[in-house]
C-alpha cells in the first residue's frame, strides 16, 4: 500500500483484515501499532 510492502505469516491473514498500521510518537510511546481501521482499540 502506498509503496510500502508488508510481510506477515499467512496464518495472520484473517486477523489483519480491516486493520490499520500506524506509527505513534508521543511522550511515552513510540513505535508501530496495529488497530482497527474504523472504530477504537482497547489500548
Which pairs from 33-38 meet CB under 8 Å and 24+ separation? none
pLDDT tens-place string over residues 2-35: 777 878 888 988 888 888 888 899 888 899 888 8
Instruction: Count CB atoms within 10 A of the CB of residue 15.
Output: 11
- Domain assignments of the chain as residue spans, ordered by start: 11-36
Question: What's the pLDDT score for residue 5?
Answer: 82
Amino acid at each position: 500500500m502506498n509503496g510500502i510492502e508488508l510481510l506477515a505469516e499467512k496464518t495472520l491473514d484473517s486477523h489483519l483484515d480491516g486493520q490499520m498500521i500506524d506509527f505513534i510518537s508521543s511522550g511515552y510511546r513510540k513505535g508501530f501499532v496495529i488497530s482497527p481501521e474504523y472504530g477504537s482499540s482497547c489500548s
